[in-house]
A and B are shown apart, each in its own frame.
Chain A
Amino acid sequence: MRRFIPLFIILAFSLWAEKESPISKDIRKMEFPQLEWNLPEVGKEIERVELPSGAILFLKENHTVPLIEINIYIKGGSSYLKEGEKATSEFFASMIERGGTQNFAPSEFTEKLEINAISFRVNENGYYYSVNELTSKDVLDTALILLKEALFHPSFDDQIIEIEKKKITEEWKKKLDEPNSLLRELSTYMLYRGHPEGSIPDLNLLKSTNQKRLKELKNRFLQPSNMIIGIVGDFKTPKMKERIENIFCDKYNTGAHVGNIPPLTKETQKKVYFYDMKRAQAYFNIQHRGEKAIFPEMFNVMIMNQILGGGGFTSRIVLKVRNEMGLAYRTRSSYSTFSPISGTFSAYCGTSSSTAHQASEYILKEFENIRDKKVSIEELKVAKESLINSTVTRLGNDWDYIQRLLSLELLGLPLDYYLSYNDNIEKVTLNDVLNAAQDFINPEKLAIVIIGDRDKTNMDALREQFGEVEFIEYKIPGL
């Protein structure tokens, strides 16, 4: 077990802020009792076992409420499929969730779930499917039977196939209506064009997907050896382990090859990618591909992003674009590194079309600043303290923490990642932050993907910032 000591005890008093209010000074002088808390460790409070079938199981008892939550991450998804099969992959997930099983017709399956207030969700997340089942302890038997049925004996009912295809088609239509969901799709498309991850869903492929294809996907992905299971709640570990081992057993391994994610295609060039939509606000992402999870630089990148635009109201982009200029309600930067495909660096903003060029200019300026000059001691200190001192409020909930462990396992990252997190954050220096900004933000690659009103946008200014303007469309075949 590790004890987390609040950072302010470690840091020298000489680092105090240049500008500080009387209340902040008072708070600095306060003495706080040491927090008695330990992050649960795998191998101690959390049991991790590899089942004979190859499934990985994490178990964490928590007896505060008589609930049990089962999360399963299954390697698979649209990144493993052909280009355009994104909607097909979503369809597969929804058919596991509600397509019925060999022993329960779809209506019987959902009624059994809902009469017992068991929630059961299956989602497609690009490179993995996630299954979530939350149940009251007293109906656990039913919940486990239904889970086993859905994963290993799905029937993919013909009538539900038709209903779900129509629903997914409508869902995509709705996505195109809402600028923020459309921006997400467009941004991914521009980052990974030509790769399954960034491909536009082809609804003709969805229409032609039949029960046979669904069974192929089931045989390929729904194998215990391809699953990571995390269970939290009101149970006894030995008994639960036995039950899960019986369900996720070797006979369900089909031997089918799960496959690999294809290598990335060439990145799109620096440009303005403009999608014309007449709404009250414009939305944009300034972005490029980033590195996958890398150690130890990712901690430097994390701190750099915290200061740049990921740390909420105290980060530079938010202070400038929102606080000082009043140009946006939502703006931020993010540098995601947790992905088997590629990391992503992006800065998001929602502002009027007429001010989009101003907001993007301020954001670019902040990129330049953080690459040109070391951040201040105070900025580094606040960023470190924020991440370290919030360990208990961010990770102190078992129900959430177990899902973080599943992600680490899925990505092949060390399971002690969060245990060594604070030490790694503490090590970050002013030079590390500067180097991270210079190494991981590349102005020559930054493109802007923007959804806005073409008539109200200052194209010349955007062109000056990012180069050529390309008007883009997002046409979904078969819609």
Chain B
Amino acid sequence: MFILLFLSIVGSNSGLKITRKTLENDLRVIFIEDHTSPIFGGIVQFDIGSAYERPGITGTSHLLEHMLFKGTKKMGTVNYKKEAPIIEEIHKLYSRLDRADSVEREKILKEIDNFKGEQEKYAIPAEIWSIYSREGGTWMNAFTSNTTTQYFILLPSNKKEVWAKIESDRFQNPVLREFYSERDVVNEERRMYESRSGSVLWDHLVCNSYIASPVRWSVIGWTSDIMNVTPEEVMEYYKAYYVPERCVIVLAGDVDPEEDFKMVQKYFGKWEKRNAPLIRLTEEPQQNGIRRAHVNFKASPQMAIGFHGPLYGEKEYYAARVLVSALTTGRSSIFEKTLVNTGMASEINVHVDNWDGKAKSLIYILTHPMKDVSFNTIEDKIFSVLDSLKENGISKKDLRRARNNFKMNLLRRRRYILWFAFGVGNGERVMGDPEFYKKELEMIDSITANDVMNALKEYINKDKSTIVTLGEERI
């Protein structure tokens, strides 16, 4: 009942029409029509993220994302012709810094300062931000993950052409200005994550759970890579992967697929198709045996337990999602009742990260044991709850609760067009179907208690788990 109602709401009956069009250069454009407010969300998604990097240039996808806010030959500058040689001189000077002794270094830094002073005559810092702000843009930002990089904004719907003009130029003609100060900014971002116990625990969980798959290194990259990557390497990366065939544009809200497609053709039609190089992502081998790690960190104890799960899109993946929901969603969930209400943990959460299907998913448990509860005790309790679930099976109530909550989450997102549009774009980018969320709902609805049990038995096994603890000492 709920699913039928839901599908009619988010589907065409609600006036929310989804249209997919493709340019000659293979750039895919998805339109989601919702005319309730004169606003539109513009999202540019690239099928590229940190998993496509290699050791030595980790963090490049993310650094590039930052750099693409720095302007182009026609944006962020009053005169690129005059600015370009100065940028070039600054690059050259920085490349000499590494090999310079302290005296030489001081001299070079002084020269750099002089050139930066010269560049100030031409450069207009943060101009993309400034234009978007004055035109009424909000939510302007971007993010990078292991498998995708996405740029987004919400604008009044009479400003669609502003968006097209800026975004088409930004992705076709970027200039890596202010490269070195931005590299420092990214390094500060890295320090920010290093200061947070949760981020440190996550990084250690992932790099211990995957020994071969490139999802194992963090999106932000290693410090030495961030601080040594060159503008040439970043540009090379951009040229290889920022190509129209790896890009999906989503225009959602008060949009007109026919008229707005003409606008997209006008601005993005000349973007040259470049045939991105074949990327073979190393497949993670089967894990044979438990892996353990401990991170010394001055914070309350935390534990993470990870398991390789099914690939995104497979039916088993949705069985795992239902399992996760039954285990952890809400106060009547299995773990809440058995660990939190019994005073063993202050918090326990279970999630699945699907890496867009580019690697085996990661099903993981995060918990904060209560004071005086040791890591061994909580670990034993978690596995004993899971073993007992394997014996007794999942209840119909748990199944229904999990399904309803899954659907409700999608419906919640529907209230905010930009957030809904991310899911639609991801459907196209990853599965080649902008309405893949509907299939996901059907899939979730078709999952039986047996499916959940099979997923539990297949994937949630202690001898194939990775257990990472964090705290001042391993208690």
Contact = CB atoms under 8 A, between A and B. Distances in A.
A167 interface: yes
Contacts of A330: 192
B188 interface: yes
A19 interface: yes
A280 interface: yes
Nearest to A306: B133
A170 interface: yes
A236 interface: no
Given A134-B412, A324-B125, A280 B191 contact: yes
Interface in A151-169: 162-163, 166-167
Nearest to B160: A32
A329 B195 CA distance: 13
Residue with the highest number of chain A CB atoms closer than 10 Å, among B34, B125, B405? B125
B305 interface: no
How large, as a class, is the contact surface on chain A? 35 or more
Interface in B117-148: 124-127, 129-131, 133-140
A115 B155 contact: no
A20 interface: yes
Interface string A346-376: 0000111000000000000000000000000
B37 to A, nearest CB: 4
Contact of B124 (A21, A113, A117): A21
Given A117-B408, A327-B184, A20 B78 contact: yes
Given A114-B330, A396-B39, A281 B191 contact: yes
B76 interface: yes
B133 A393 contact: no
B262 to A, nearest CB: 16
B438 interface: no
B180 interface: yes
A67 B415 contact: yes
A145 interface: no
A382 B130 contact: yes
A219 interface: no
A339 interface: no
A36 B36 CA distance: 11
Contacts of A36: 38
Interface stretch (B339-347, B374-382, B449-457): B339-347
B218 interface: no
Contacts of B414: 64-65
Nearest to A394: B138
A21 B76 contact: yes
B129 A115 contact: no
A65 B411 contact: yes
B156 A23 contact: no
Given A117-B408, A281-B188, A330-B192, A325 B136 contact: no
A392 B36 CA distance: 12
Contacts of A269: none
Interface residues of B, number: 87
A357 to B, nearest CB: 15
B126 A314 contact: yes
Interface stretch (A207-215, A241-249, A383-391): A383-391
Interface in A77-129: 98, 107, 110-111, 113-117, 119
Contacts of A399: 415-416
A312 B138 CA distance: 11
Contacts of A327: 184, 188
B186 interface: yes
A290 interface: no
Contacts of A322: 185
**Best-buried of A116, A174, A390, A397 by chain B (most CB within 10 Å):** A390
B158 A35 contact: yes
Contacts of A34: 158
Contact of B37 (A113, A138, A392): A392
A466 to B, nearest CB: 22
Nearest to B333: A114
A114 B401 contact: yes
A111 B129 contact: no
Contact of A171 (B138, B329, B346, B412): B346
B401 A67 contact: no
B181 A64 contact: no
Given A35-B156, A327-B188, A167 B181 contact: no
Interface stretch (B162-170, B271-279, B280-288, B355-363): B162-170
B299 interface: yes
A432 B213 CA distance: 58
Nearest to B70: A323
B159 interface: yes
B352 interface: no
Contacts of B411: 65-67, 136
B39 A281 contact: no
A37 interface: yes
Given A64-B415, A117-B408, A327-B184, A19 B38 contact: no
B104 interface: no
B321 to A, nearest CB: 15
B256 interface: no
Interface string A9-48: 0000000000111111011001011111100000000000
B111 interface: no
Interface string B443-461: 0000000000000000000
Given A385-B134, A393-B155, A167 B332 contact: no
Nearest to A166: B343
Contact of A324 (B72, B181, B330): B181
Contacts of B400: 115
B124 A382 contact: no
Nearest to B193: A280
Contacts of B180: 326
A463 interface: no
23 contacts: A23-B75, A23-B131, A33-B158, A35-B156, A65-B14, A111-B401, A114-B401, A134-B412, A138-B2, A138-B5, A171-B346, A278-B298, A279-B195, A281-B192, A318-B126, A323-B178, A327-B184, A390-B133, A392-B39, A393-B39, A396-B37, A397-B415, A399-B416
Interface of B: 2, 5, 9, 14, 34, 36-39, 69, 71-72, 74-78, 124-127, 129-131, 133-140, 154-159, 161-162, 165-166, 169, 178, 180-186, 188-189, 191-192, 194-197, 298-300, 329-333, 340-341, 343, 346-347, 368, 370-371, 397, 400-401, 404-405, 407-408, 411-412, 414-416
Given A280-B192, A323-B126, 11 more contacts: A21-B78, A24-B75, A24-B127, A27-B135, A30-B162, A163-B340, A312-B129, A391-B136, A392-B39, A392-B136, A396-B37
